[in-house]
Amino acid sequence: MRLLVGLLEPETAGSPTGKGPKWCRRSTYWLSQELARRGMRISPNSVGKMLVLADYSLRCCRKSISGTNHPERDRQFQHLQEMRRRFERLGLPIISVDTKNRELVGNFSNKGRTYRREPYETSAYDFRSDALGVAIPYGIFDVTQNTGTVVVGITHDTPQFAVDSIETWLVTSGFQTYGQFEELLILADAGGSNGARPRLWKYALHECISAPYGIRITICHYPSGASKWNPVEHRLFGPISNNWQGEPLRDYERILGFIGSTKTKKGLRVDSFLNQRTYPCGIKVSDDQMDAISLERAEVLPQWNYTIG
């Protein structure tokens, strides 16, 4: 055992106090060969048993360190909670929005496993040229109602696509649930098509939703590096990924079916729609266009909090 621990010491990770489990980046085969060179013949299986006795175990990487920690992070979270409480108290809608990972449409392998007598036979390579197209799911999660609307795009994830998706939620679910409301709170990430910087995101919200429907829209962005706290991520996208894990996403009808059939024990219901419109990238919004919309910056962290309409 001492000889084995001596080999492991430069290859070991774990608590520096020596308490708790440890792990090693070397294989049991490599350790078996090294021990044989030092006169101790032992099989890889026996090495594995000795590792367990020494509190070693198989480990994988765990994403737990945020690369950015904005100095105003806590202040923004406090403001987010205050805004949520205000809208909940008034019975006004609160939606959490984001774009899920782009998926290739075709007979490709999908992460996860599913109970079957035989495995699915899928393409050996995930080449874009072999795909029927791409699926870009944009999610709108109603925080208070625990319902989701997912609009699947087929071209690009642009601010105009994001706003059109929110309008789809508005006319198919929002008005049916809340009636003709006049205020809306949107929780969004700081980046992406619905980020804090794109002018087109703000301009399209005004032109497509705020002005035609008479709705005053308040937007609060999660700080950089804090997108995993956005409710849409774990309360909508997580269950969808679980529902279609291990299933090839062969066509758009199949994708919409998996999304629309997603449910949870807490009562989540999801509607799915296909948006076949083409969304070009690189559309510019001029200073005159921005000046024409009613945009009010909040006193608290105005780069992340503003109201349109």
Hey, what domains does the chain have and what are their CATH numbers? 2-53 (no CATH), 73-308 (3.30.420.10)
Q: Which of 22-26, 286-290, 297-301 has the least mean pLDDT?
A: 22-26
Is residue 18 over pLDDT 60?
no
Q: What is the 3-state secondary structure (H, E, C) of the chain?
A: CHHHHHHHHHHEEECCCCCCCEEECCCHHHHHHHHHHCCCCCCHHHHHHHHHHCCECCCCCCCCCCCCCCCCHHHHHHHHHHHHHHHHHHCCCEEEEEECCCEEECCCCCCCCCCCCCCCCCCCCCCHHHCCEEEEEEEEEECCCCEEEEEEECCCCCHHHHHHHHHHHHHHHHHHHHCCCCEEEEEECCCCCCCCCCHHHHHHHHHHHHHHHCCEEEEEECCCCCHHHCHHHHHHHHHHHHHHCCCCCCCHHHHHHHHHCCCCCCCCEEEEEEECCCCCCCCCCCHHHHHHCCEEECCCCCCCEEEEC
Of 241 and 4, more confident: 241
Question: Residue 22: what pLDDT?
Answer: 47
What confidence tens digit (pLDDT) does each residue in 56-93 have?
A: 776 666 665 555 567 889 999 999 999 999 999 999 99
Is residue 126 over pLDDT 70?
yes
Position 237 confidence tier, pLDDT thresholds 50, 70, 90: very high
Question: Residue 65: what pLDDT?
Answer: 57
Of 255 and 48, more confident: 255
Predicted TM-score (pTM) of this structure: 0.80
Over residues 12-27, mean pLDDT: 52
Position 298 confidence tier, pLDDT thresholds 50, 70, 90: very high
